[in-house]
Structure 1
Amino acid sequence: MKILKTVDEVRSQVKAWKKEGLSVGLVPTMGYLHEGHQSLIRKSVEQNDRTVVSVFVNPMQFGPTEDLESYPRDLDADAKLCETTGADVIFHPEPEEMYKPGFCSYVNMTGLPDALCGLTRPVHFKGVCTVVNKLFNIVQPDRAYFGQKDAQQLAIIMRMVIDLNMDIEIVGCPIIREADGLAKSSRNIYLKPEERQAAVILSKSVKLGQQMIADGERDAKKIVAAMKDLIGSEPLADIDYVEMVDMDTMKSIDIVEGHVLCAMAVRFGKARLIDNFILDMNK
């Protein structure tokens, strides 16, 4: 597996591909890859001639009390997964390569980051937008791939691409789950056995919300209350938020209509896990 560590190396490789008329897909990750990431890589390989996977634990998107230092890392395992899935290059820069001394330019956004995860992680999306913008500038991909599990991030990246007139197609890919329903996440490794068992309550609450809507319920507050009650019945669950919002604005809704995101963040011990479901009621 070819692992490139500098911006110049990546640009040189991509320029060579583009000279051959090849299309390029980008899968931005923070590493410790699992089947969810693999599904993004697989989709990129399917839709593009060449695929770049970035593996970079971005310090800018972590708050001062968050898990930057302890965030799981395993480049050898990441390289094996990328190779077996068909990726061509891993871009694995050091922080000093991405953020030169004196770095002071950022990509910020108002509105969309001010809800859900942005309320308790105020620096997070500024860091995400900045690093993704840098990756887009470095790789110049035709398409970039993001998972629906990070639904707010997906919405923010799509808005950024529109607002900044980026000639990149953003491809959102479905949540990949364990056999018992738990959404795949690199942070699942933090879960103790009893917390891992308890965390299944998240996917159960997703199913509850989906079923209530399928049965005709349209009162968003009733659906959210029922989901919170279910999650709250698990003693190890500490709810950060459960909310139903407009997918395009991230503003809370009272009635389930239009493009809807129902999202949650819940702590189990030191692990903060997210899950969601998205519905387009116009279809």
Structure 2
Amino acid sequence: MTGFPDDLGSAPEGAGPQEPLLRQPPGYLAPPPGSFGQIRRRATRRRRLRTAGGGVAAAAVVAGSVYLVGALAPRGTDDRGIPPATASPTSPALRTTQPPAPVTTGPRATPGTHSAPPPTAPPAATSSPARDTPTPSGTPTSGSGSATPMCAASQLTASLGGSDGAAGSVYRYLLLTNHSATTCHLTGYPGVSVLDASGKQIGAPADRSPMDYAAVVLRPGEAASDTLRTANHLGTCRPTSAKVRVYPPGSRASLVVAGELTICDDFTITPLTAGRTGNPPA
């Protein structure tokens, strides 16, 4: 059989011979009841299975990594068994050698001769100020005292000159006289403090009043002077002194002279200048 009707004359009237083969079926069959729910349940089950399988795979990967790290780590190592990085200085194989001393260039000594060492500059002499001499606070100016030596305490005589008062202050002149037979000079400030009858210092030494100064050349019998200033019985006053101690500039030795000074509040001194009437000269 070919699937075609053998007798074309048996077709109904008005229909062509191909009509039974080309005609569409009257409609589609409906899905069986409950098929969509079953499909959804199967899909949900598959998703759950895939999720569970992914978690198990991830856990297996992590466990495998931990195992590999532990397997590849060195075993049996202990820091206490590792020798120190630096070898013992007593080991001859690892003993470090000092670099050779640098070779200085110079004239090579010939046999039978001795080369003299190079001359070295003498160390600079340092001098420390007197213990009660404050730090200089003035500015030195050019002077002509460099050609003469500094006056030593043994060449000088200290004394208190006249006094004056103005604007609530008391001024007293301090004199240093060259009693020696040689010329010398003084530069800057002396150190001055007041003492009681037993020689104990009363309060702090005099502060330096900032002023310009220059070297004062003292021929035999000449004097230099400066000015002591304090408040005229104002504020807090110290007990009246019985003596005055003077350190000449640059000297460690002091001169002590009798003198009554009542120091109230501040106590200052000016640099030495030529003459007997203080600095600035009266």
Q: Fold conserved (TM > 0.5)?
A: no
TM-score range, shorter chain: under 0.3
Structure showing greater radius of gyration is 2
Q: TM-score, with normalisation over the residues of structure 1? A: 0.19
TM-score, length-scaled by structure 2: 0.19
